[in-house]
Structures are given as C-alpha cells and as structure tokens.
Chains A and B, each alone.
Chain A
C-alpha cells in the first residue's frame, strides 16, 4: 500500500478545512436570505397600526390584565424614573412588580423614598423556585405598584420571585434599565387577544436609547448614538429584531424572546418551572423549555414576535463592557443549545428541532470559530500562494460583501414598513454604518463570541460588571 506524501495530506486537509469554511458561510448567508424574505412577507401582511388611539379604541375592552415584572440589581440611578414611566403606561389593566434582587447600593431605599412604600402582606403561592423573600412593599398612592425585596439570586431568580407574586394571567418581563413606549403593552398584547388559547409568549422589538432625548423615564425624541460603537449596535439590533426574530416568528421557530421585554402566559411559565437558574441565557432557555413542554404534550401553541412594541435600552458605550456582554450572550446561547441538544433535528420537535436549533447550530455554535478560522487561514494561504484567487474572493464575499447586503436590507425593511428613524441624515448615517460595520466590528464581535465559547467550555459562570451611566444623563 502506497502512503500519500505529507504534502498531499496537508493539501487535502487544507482543502477540507476551506470547504467547511465556505460551506458554513454559505449556510449562514442562505439563512439570512431566508430570514429577509420571511420578514418581508410578515411585515407586508401584518402592517403595524401606527395610531395608538385607534388601538385603544379597538382593544382596550378586551385586553388581558398583565403583570410587569421588573428585576432590579443596583439600579439606584434610574429605578424610580423607570418605574414611574411603567406606571404611566397606556394599558387598561396592569400591575408593576419590582424585585430588588439583593442590591448592594440604594436601589431599595430609592424605591421606598420615591413611592412612599410601606411593608405590606401579600398572599402568594411559591409557584416557582427562588430565594426567600425578605419583605413586600406597597403604597396607597401607587396601588398598581408592588415592590419585593429578596436575597440576591440573579436575574432569573428575581423574575421567578416576580412570577410568584404576580396574579394576572400574563406577565411581562422588563429590564429595570429599559424604557417602554407608552402603548407598547397594548401592541404586544395583540397576539393574546387574537389567539388567547394558543398564544403562550410574545416578544417585542428592543431599540437603542443612546442618543435619544429622555426625560423622567420617557423617550421624548429619537436620536442616534454619538459613538461609533452605539451606531454599530443600532444596526445590529435592527437586523436581529426586524429580520431574524420576525422571520422565525413567521415560521413558528422563534427560540428567543429578549429578556428586556417579553410577555408570557403565567400558567405556562409555571408549568415549565419558571426561569432556570445557573444560566446567563435565561430568556432563551425559558422559550426553548416552553417549546419542548408544548411539543412533548403535542399541544398546539404560538410563540410570536411583534415588530412594533418598542422597548428602549441603554447600549454599552465601551468596548470592554460590550465585549463582556457579547461573550455572555454567546455563552447563554451555548448553554441553552447544549442543555436541550437532544432537540436538534429530532422529528418529535418538528421545525423547532430543524430550523430553530439548526439556526443556533450554524450561526452560534459553528459560525464564530469557523469564521475566525477563515480569517486566519484564507489570507495566509493566499499570501503563500497556496490558494486560488477564486477562493479568496468567495471568502471575502461571504464575510464582507454579503454582510453589507444583509445589514442594508434590514434598514430597508425598517424604512419601508416602520419609519422609526425620523431624520434623513440619520437614515443616511445608518446606511453608512451598515456598510462600515462589516470591516472590523463584525470581526471583533466574532472574537467576543469565541471568548464566550471558551468561557462556556471552561464552565465560567456569572455576568461580569455592566457599568451604566443611567438614562438621566443621556
């Protein structure tokens, strides 16, 4: 038997690696095109109603009551403004349950002082596991507000405490540092009105508040972030929400609802045990658990994304903090993927197993390491003369040029269907950013995700420090 020479082995290995790099890039971009087409279809058939007054007239009488759950950890700067704006939401029947998750700053005292709170007794059942509650507070001046103080247990633990205390059939998980538009609940509740039996969860759009004019927890006017990092994230959020989530919602394969703004049927969330502990991707994990639970029981259900309800969030403005956030998101996605890995491609889980989990596999699990491998190998091999120009161009096309198309296309969707960017100059700037982000930012983002993968493999836990300036100063 003749053994192949080392040169032939090296060459064929390189060929295989390059084939994998190109094939993964093609699969990723194929998914993006599919998402675009589906998102366009969805927006064309379900055009959001812009007139809030009309929505109120149409739905106020039949809107289900909602409990807003607001976990707060060291939010002293903004908690009173955030809760005040939530209490002023334009929705017929809701309560706000703020959970102080053992903050080490003056979050609890700020709420006590800001709303004149006093300890109260509230009847509740331990519906889902969480750290013991220390005290429940209420105020006759703000009958819709309940504040609970508990030992620190993390975001999922705080949300579970909120689920325990809530009494309405639907709860809405909202980040304490986020701002909801006044009619966000009215819009987000629509799937629960149209299909109250089958709808178990609804997600809404998150947008970046940096650069907007904000006063007392309300967005007064839209503006773009002043930093390049903020602008990159603005385009990223548009792509993620207006394209990816809307598309998967149309296909009924949505595997994530952002922790910053998501509505769930309380009974279903309790049935799956509430938010899981020991993961930083508790928002995705809850959605996947619900899919699994409903599919295991062969129940007909809907998890929907609505493009219009806008929740504004403060984006990190420093590379270090953003890097930590992205690594954590990556870790969260991997934790959920491997916890529920048996759902992948299993016929029992239908399109969730094939499309939903297939997407996570290609984009979150395989995508980052293979793309980074491509960045290292392709230019080097081309430089050494071991790679044809065709290979180089194909790789550049898949990683740079196609990225421009995807980013600009999500901006096109936004402009045609929603028009939430009021100034033409802002629109032009975002178009420029959609091009530029593919040269540098996308690659750095991949490195952060790779770090997330590394942290996951090493069993890293925890959130890391998220320093914020607070909306008061934006």
Chain B
C-alpha cells in the first residue's frame, strides 16, 4: 500500500509540476508581448515628459496627463525616476501635472490599500506630492502594520516639515524595530525639522542604546545649540555604546571644550571607546593629548594603536615628529612598526 502510494504520489507531483511549468511558459508568451508594449509606452511617455519639461506646451501637457492617467503603476515608476533628475521649477510643474492626472490620488490609494511593496514605494514617492491630503494619508500610514512602511511614511512626513511628533507609539516601534540602520534615515530626517524632540529621545534611558545613539548622531549633525552640553552630560554613561557615540560626536562637533572628555576616554576600559576617542583627537587637533596618543601606540588592541597613530599623524609637525622618533628608536617592535606603517600610509595618501 505504502509502496504503491509512493509511485502514485510521485507521478502526480511530477505531472502537476510539469503542467504548471507549461502554463507559466504560455503565460510568459502572452505577458512578454504585454511587457514589450508597456516598455514602448514608457519610453514614449518619458520622451514626451522630458520634451514638455523643456518647452511646456499646453497641448502636450494634456496628452501626457491622459497617458499618465491610463496606467497609475507605470506612471508612478516613471515619475519617480524623472523627479530624481529634474530640479527646481521643473519638479513643481511635474508634480502639478501628475496631481492633475490623478497620480497623487493613485499613490495615496496605493498607500492605503496596496500590497506591502506598493505601500512602501508609495510612502517614498509621496515626497513629490506635498498636500494636505498627502499629509493625512502619511499620518495614517505611520500606523501601518509593516514597520518599513511606517518608517518610510514617518521619514516622508518629517521631510515635509510636518508636525509629526515622536510620540510613544512611534518610539516604541523604533525600539521594536531593533537595531536596523533604517532608523537612522527616520531620525536624520526628523532631526532636520525637530531636533529638540530628538534631545528627549537621547535622554530617555528607557529607550534602547541603539535608538539613543542614532538620535545623538542626528542631533549633532543639526548643530543645535546645547549639543556640547548634551554630549558632556552623557560622558559617564555606563553604556559603552553611548560612550562611543559621545566620543564620535565630540569629534564631529570639533569643539575644544570636548577635549577633557576625550582625554579621559583615551584610558577607558573598553577598546571601542579608546579607539573612537583617539580618532576624535585627530579631528579636534588637540596637541595636548599627543602624549596620551603616544601611549596608546602600545595598546593591546590593534584598532586603538592604529587610530592613535592616525590621530598623531593628523596633529601636524609635532605628531609626525613623534611618529618618526618612535619609528627610529623602536624599529623592530610593535610600537616602531605601527609608527613606520602609519607614516608610510600618510605619505602615500599625501602623494
């Protein structure tokens, strides 16, 4: 019974798979023609759009509107590409034309009802269609069940300068989203509009270190007054990730008042902090920290030694002199080799 069952089932599976493949081949034959037609349509529409952007003829505009309205999906894909290459007044005219053709509405509808990929595309494409209706659609999409769609909607809203607040719901989502680097995109966009709200995120110890450090990076990029004080207030954080972020951002900020903190970080227990602090010294150009950097050339961790060497090379003549001395007196040791290699790399990049 079992043995004859094996034969029957196998035969059945093989027959079904072959029949399915046959159907797929036939489908491809039909859809291939359709795809070629669409590609031609797209090509013609693209040329017409570029021509209209050049001369702006009203008659052409009406014809393009009709073509765009005929196929929302094709129009959305095409417009997204054209928006990327057009700037200024051209973008505004294109957006108005597309909105008149009903494409804005088509995308908003896709954002509400489409499959995940369409919703994600729509959330990103709506950046070209700012209007109260779009803002409303995006606000709703922030609660989308898919995190990607939600964050794309939030990022687009932030890009509009909309009054989107980093409310608990969104923050909880960011935390749940784990460590994804996509939260950098959301928070960077948000920082450009509402850096003050991000400061609260940085200070909220209930949030994950990942979200807090990304927020800290975003705040620093804005140059918001009080950023230095914020960074210094986090100096003694028990979290190594936060301390690394403080060192990194003090380097980015380049304010001399950050030097004492950086100096203390050069002897931190964690190599990641020491390495990032060494890098920051190079960016700050604090000559007083040169001796501490020299000491780090003997660090047990290669990255710390390497970053310390690089930072010394960036301190100008004094740093170079120190590296040359070490290369000469300790040539056969790790210290001497680090110094020699850093100098060689520096000379190569200078050349």
Contact = CB atoms under 8 A, between A and B. Distances in A.
Interface in B282-322: 302, 306, 309
Given A47-B117, A62-B181, A195-B180, A401 B11 contact: yes
Contacts of A394: 2-4, 6-7
Contacts of A195: 178-180
A57 interface: yes
The secondary structure that dominates the A interface is helix
Most chain-A Cβ atoms within 10 A of its Cβ — which of B2, B24, B80, B124?
B24
B10 A405 contact: yes
A435 B18 CA distance: 9
A26 B28 contact: no
Interface in B201-248: 210
A37 B282 CA distance: 54
Interface in A427-474: 427-428, 431, 435
B184 interface: yes
Contacts of B178: 195, 197-198
Nearest to B183: A62
A54 B152 CA distance: 13
Given A62-B184, A396-B7, A197 B179 contact: yes
A342 to B, nearest CB: 32
Contacts of B306: 123, 125
Interface string A216-251: 000000000000000000000000000000000000
Interface residues on B, range: 35 or more
Interface stretch (B38-46, B104-112, B261-269, B342-350): B342-350
A390 B32 contact: no
Interface stretch (A154-162, A276-284, A317-325, A410-418): A410-418
Interface in A384-400: 388, 390-391, 393-394, 396-398
B contact face: mostly helix, strand, loop, or mixed: helix
Nearest to A48: B117
B24 A123 contact: no
Q: Name the residue among B7, B20, B25, B185 with the largest chain A CB count within 10 angstroms.
A: B7
B14 A408 contact: yes
Contacts, number: 127
Contact of B180 (A123, A194, A419, A428): A194
A416 B182 contact: no
Contacts of A125: 302, 306
Contact of A58 (B17, B20, B124, B309): B124
A95 to B, nearest CB: 13
Given A121-B340, A390-B3, A408 B18 contact: yes
A22 interface: yes
Contacts of B121: 54
A123 B342 contact: yes
A120 B14 contact: no
Given A427-B25, A431-B21, A123 B181 contact: no
10 contacts: A22-B6, A57-B84, A62-B184, A62-B185, A396-B7, A398-B10, A401-B11, A404-B18, A424-B32, A435-B18
Interface of B: 2-4, 6-7, 9-11, 13-14, 16-18, 20-22, 24-25, 28-29, 32, 77, 80-81, 84, 117, 121, 124, 178-182, 184-185, 210, 302, 306, 309, 338, 340-342, 344-345, 348, 351
List 10 A-B pairs, minimum CB-CB distance, nearest first: A121-B344, A123-B341, A125-B302, A397-B10, A390-B3, A405-B13, A408-B17, A197-B179, A393-B7, A62-B181
